[in-house]
């Protein structure tokens, strides 16, 4: 056999096989075109290229997805690390002690202030400890009420109740701690511990000061009333005002002057209130005759002071009322006696 290349007249390369006949004087030749011979091979080659392209594309997609997933995992890891850093920084800098227990009653996390608040050494409280173990550490440190066993039982019972709780513990060292507890959806609980000793001491001092001031206002022999700066309603009156008005404070509080005095007198009082509220500093004083609810006319000397908040907004109007009726009558008698004869009541030489 031999290969003709493209030497034939039709230009088609052929593979020609020949054989010489032994008994006959001729040669037998058979030629087959090369493209025809390799046609099935070409079809397989094209399908192979197609399959190889698909596999290459599939490998590229899998690689891209793998790289993308890796990048997403790296980004998620960084976000988680950043979130943990923020959480740890928040817990470390919170002014209250924080502790969280899982549904299995084991400690999940606690900040450093929680341990130091109960006098525990750094690292004494570790995740995985049970609430009972943590409470025993607090009892051993003396940071518990006098009845330590009842304290442990009550706290274990209350810790995982579904309702929100607020507990106040008075410790043996004199401190008072408030614990605000909230249940979590997974059955665990988170609690905020706050030392409220200074707050309670301040409240006690404020209550004592308030009682002292109330006692002074209540017992001074001059009438004092306090009105709301907006509604002009009475919010406080003392005993001297009740005596002067001859009306109980329950019938006065929450009312305005228009509900207590005659219309003409109430208008003058309200005008004096408006004048005082319009003054930025100082006080306003006014004297006028007022017809009391029982019908008697009295002369009242009033001084008004406006109580303002830190922003300068008027909140209350304090009115000090002095009944000067008898003083006015004495002044009138002295003036009359100075210019009239005491026996005949006729004008004297000075008059």
DSSP 224: E
User: How is residue 79 written in tokens?
Assistant: 């976000």
Is residue 168 within 8 A of residue 177, CB to CB? The reply is yes
Is residue 131 within 8 A of residue 101, CB to CB? The reply is yes
Handedness of CA 37, 38, 41, 43 (dihedral sign): negative
- The whole-number pLDDT of residue 109 equals 87
Do the strands 297-308 and 284-291 form a parallel or antiparallel pair, or are they unpaired? Answer: antiparallel
**Strands of the sheet with 27-33, listed across from one edge:** 2-3, 14-20, 27-33
- The whole-number pLDDT of residue 316 equals 92
DSSP H or E run through 36: helix 34-37
Phi and psi torsions of 314, nearest 5°:
-70, 125
User: How many Å apart are CA 3 and CA 21, to the nearest integer?
Assistant: 21
Residues sharing a CB contact under 8 Å with residue 236, sequence separation 6 or more, in sequence order: 217, 224, 225, 226, 253
- The whole-number pLDDT of residue 288 equals 84
- The whole-number pLDDT of residue 235 equals 93
- CA of 273: how far to CAs of 155, 211, 255, 276, 284, in Å? 56, 27, 15, 5, 9
Provide the 3-class DSSP secondary structure of residue 250.
helix
User: How many Å apart are CA 205 and CA 348, to the nearest integer?
Assistant: 64
Q: Which residues of the chain have pLDDT under 70?
A: 1-10, 86-93, 282
DSSP H or E run through 252: none
- pTM above threshold 0.75: no
- The whole-number pLDDT of residue 349 equals 80
């Amino acid at each position: 056999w031999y290969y003709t290349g493209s030497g034939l007249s039709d230009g088609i390369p052929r593979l020609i096989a020949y054989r010489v006949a032994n008994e006959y004087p001729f040669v037998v030749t058979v030629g087959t075109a090369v493209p025809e011979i390799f046609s099935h091979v070409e079809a397989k080659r094209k399908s192979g290229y197609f399959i190889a392209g698909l596999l290459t594309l599939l490998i590229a997609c899998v690689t891209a997805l793998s790289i993308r997933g890796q990048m997403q995992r790296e980004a998620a890891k960084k976000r988680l690390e950043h979130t943990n850093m923020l959480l740890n920084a928040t817990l470390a800098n919170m002014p209250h002690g924080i502790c969280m227990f899982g549904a299995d009653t084991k400690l999940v996390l606690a900040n450093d202030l929680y341990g130091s608040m109960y006098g525990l050494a750094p690292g004494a409280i570790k995740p995985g400890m049970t609430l009972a173990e943590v409470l025993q550490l607090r009892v051993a440190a003396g940071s518990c009420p006098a009845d330590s066993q009842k304290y442990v039982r009550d706290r274990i019972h209350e810790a995982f109740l579904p309702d929100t709780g607020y507990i106040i513990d008075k410790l043996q060292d004199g401190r008072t701690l408030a614990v605000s507890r909230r249940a979590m959806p997974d059955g665990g609980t988170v609690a905020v511990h706050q030392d409220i000793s200074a707050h309670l001491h301040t409240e006690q001092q404020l209550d004592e000061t308030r009682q002292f001031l109330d006692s002074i206002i209540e017992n001074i022999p001059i009438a004092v009333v306090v009105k709301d700066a907006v509604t002009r309603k009475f919010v406080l009156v003392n005993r001297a005002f009740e005596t002067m008005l001859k009306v109980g404070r329950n019938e006065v509080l929450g009312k305005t002057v228009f509900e207590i005095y005659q219309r003409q007198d109430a208008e003058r009082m309200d005008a004096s209130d408006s004048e005082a509220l319009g003054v930025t500093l100082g006080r306003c004083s006014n004297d006028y005759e007022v017809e009391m609810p029982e019908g008697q006319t009295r002369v009242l000397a009033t001084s008004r002071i406006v109580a303002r908040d830190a922003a300068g907004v008027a909140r209350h109007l304090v009115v000090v009322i002095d009944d000067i009726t008898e003083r006015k009558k004495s002044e009138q008698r002295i003036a009359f006696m100075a210019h009239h004869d005491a026996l005949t009541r006729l004008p004297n030489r000075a008059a």
